[in-house]
Amino acid sequence: MARVDLSSFNKQMSELKEQLSDLPEAAHSEFVKNTPIKTGNARRKTQLRDTKIVADYNYSQELDQGRSSQAPDGMIKPTEQWIRKEVDRRLKGI
């Protein structure tokens, strides 16, 4: 009978989970940094709910479409790019 030892895999999965555990909070901070600031309302109303970033104001889509010279690429695209780079950086040692 063939047996598979999953202890190494389980250890790697545990390390992976640990390395990425604070990623939602870090991504939220990056999203807020990418959010244009005029009055501060957009930044204040951008929240992290569980693992979702919620831009809870009525002009969030306009800002994300680049209608501000402060964020011509919006907030989502630069944040997604940051997440990809951050995940790659964090996982190099695993």
In 3D space, the residue among 84, 74, 71 whose CA is nearest the CA of residue 27 turns out to be 84
In 3D space, the residue among 86, 79, 17, 69 whose CA is nearest the CA of residue 48 turns out to be 79
pTM of the model: 0.84
Give percent of the chain with pLDDT exceeding 70.
98
pLDDT bin (cut points 50, 70, 90) of residue 33 is very high
What is the overall mean pLDDT for the chain?
93
Q: Which residue has the higher pLDDT, 55 or 5?
A: 55
